[in-house]
Amino acid sequence: MTFTEGSMKAVLGKRTSVLAMALVSSFAIPVFAKPITAVVRLKERVSMDTLALNVQNPYSTHYGIPYTPEEIRQVAAPAQGEYDQTLAQLRQEGFTVVSESPTHLWVTVKAEKKAFELAFATQVQLLGNGLRSHTALMSIPNRFPALAAVHGLDNTRKAFSKMKIAQHQVVQALDSSQPGVSPDAVKEAYGLNPIYSSGITGKGQHIAIATYDDFSTDDVNQFYGKLNLQPGPTVDKVTFNGVAATNNNSAMETELDAEFSGMIAPGASIHVFTSAENSDAGELAMFTAILDDNRAKVVNYSWGACEKQLTPAHQAEMAKVNIVIASGDSGSDSCQDGSVVADWPAANPNVIAVGGTTFSQNHGSIAESGWNGSGGGISGVWELPLWQQALGAPFTKRSYPDVSFNADPSSGQALWSSGSWTVIGGTSMAAPQWSGFLALVGEARQTAGKQTLGFLAPIIYSFNASDKTTLFHDVTSGSNGAYTAAPGWDAVTGWGSMNGSPLLNRLLSN
In this structure, which CATH number among 3.40.50.200, 3.40.50.720, 3.30.300.30, 3.40.50.12780 belongs to the domain 160-171+184-508? 3.40.50.200
Lowest mean pLDDT: which of 12-21, 82-91, 365-374, 450-459? 12-21
Task: Say if residues 411 and 376 touch (Cβ distance below 8 Å).
Answer: no
Task: Say if residues 430 and 404 touch (Cβ distance below 8 Å).
Answer: yes
pLDDT at 47: 87
| In the predicted structure, residue 6 carries a pLDDT above the cut 50 | no
Q: What does pLDDT average to over the chain?
A: 86
213, 219, 253, 402: the catalytic one is: 253
Q: Give start-end residues of each CATH 3.40.50.200 domain in the chain.
A: 160-171+184-508
Give the C-alpha separation, 364 to 493, whole Å: 22
pLDDT at 172: 64
257, 259, 283, 490: the catalytic one is: 257
Binning pLDDT at 50, 70 and 90, where does residue 23 land? very low
255 classed as catalytic? no
The segment with the largest mean pLDDT, out of 38-47, 306-315, 498-507, is: 498-507
261, 428, 479, 501: the catalytic one is: 428
Task: Say if residues 206 and 298 touch (Cβ distance below 8 Å).
Answer: yes
Residues 6+ apart with CB under 8 A from 17: none
Task: Say if residues 298 and 205 touch (Cβ distance below 8 Å).
Answer: yes
Q: pLDDT of 223-256, one tens digit each?
A: 999 999 999 999 999 998 888 888 888 899 999 9
Q: Is 171 helix (H, G, I), strand (E, B) or coil?
A: strand
| In the predicted structure, residue 312 carries a pLDDT above the cut 80 | no
pLDDT at 313: 67
Give the C-alpha separation, 313 to 191, whole Å: 42
| In the predicted structure, residue 145 carries a pLDDT above the cut 60 | yes
Query: Count of CB atoms within 10 A of residue 58's CB?
Result: 8
Q: Is 457 helix (H, G, I), strand (E, B) or coil?
A: helix
> What is the value of pTM for the model shown?
0.86
**Ramachandran sector of residue 180 (left: φ over 0; alpha: ψ -120 to 50; beta: rest):** left
Query: Count of CB atoms within 10 A of residue 446's CB?
Result: 15
428 classed as catalytic? yes
